[in-house]
Structure 1
Amino acid sequence: MNATAIVGVLTAIIAASVALIGYVINQMTARRERRAKAYAEALRTIRQYQEIPYRVVRRLDSSAETRTRLDDQHGEIMSSIGFHLGWLRLESPDTAAAYEALWERCRTFGGVYRKWAWRQPLVSTDAQMAVTLPFQFDIKPELDICVQAMRADTHFFGWRARRAVRQRATALAERRAAEPPPDFTTLETWSLPT
């Protein structure tokens, strides 16, 4: 084999290697972008769930159509939560655990607030629409851990960050287990101004 043939073979190998590396990097980048969008959608669904009590309190009537519409919205959100939980369990167990902890904490507040909202009188004035409602979702620590888990999943070398997120999630779960249940007594004294 002469020098020209060896140079030709080496050039072909280098070109193929560069093309392969470029392809792999493009695929990793595309996967990262897809995951980031899916994670953002999962967090958006949590936010939509938090909005349900506001929509119920601000309903304009108590017709069957309004109740059905609000129930349909609730059902779509619950279905979306289930989808995101299932997808995350397949994609990333650590992120799924963080999202599930966020969801469970959010649901603790959302269920109570939604029941309270259905017992409120109908909104009858524009001023009532602008009132700040007493819904305080204490989910910031769970949300922070979930976002960190999602970030770790979208980084090329996120294995160290995932380990740190698992440790923080475990510590938060232990702290939450030792806390008393959330206090909803402010709901008992709050009423919509007339």
Structure 2
Amino acid sequence: MAICIYFCVAAYEIRSISLVVNMYLMENVDFKFIAFCFLLVVAYGLCGSRIALVQLCSLGLYVVIGALGLSILLNINNIDLHHLFSIIKTSPMGYINGLKNAGFAFLGFDVVLYYNSLVSNSKKAPIYVVSGLTLVAMLYTITYLVCICVFSQPVVSKLVYSVVELGKGVDIGGFLERFDAIFL
């Protein structure tokens, strides 16, 4: 049963990533081919050592946090704090219904249980897990608030990937034409 769940979660994540890449970078390529390429990359990564895969994921984390921070900093002039007043009008049930959709963002945290054997001090592993999930929750909250401040709540509710749209709104000039490609 657990293997079936892992295959379903992996299929969902690969499909999501390939649809985003298809939508923003490779419009003319079939998303099934993109998903197959991602699957080949993951299979190649799994053939190597587990430590190398963990280090690659750690490197990706720093790239994403850096790109997200830079995107937020470069959108400071577009922020309008009056858009935050719509958050106050939302009922508590609206937030609870929104949590159901946001739950998929935290899929994969159980991989920590698998890599617990690699941790040198396994008694501190729960502290690391909680601090990592807290960091992710804080980043999601800050990103959500910045997207609301830049686009307004009705616009964000219609956008499919508001963070990528936030990156598309950055205008650096002649230096980098498509800043949103860093996220992908």
TM-score by length of 2: 0.28
TM-score by length of 1: 0.27
User: Which protein shows a greater Rg?
Assistant: 1
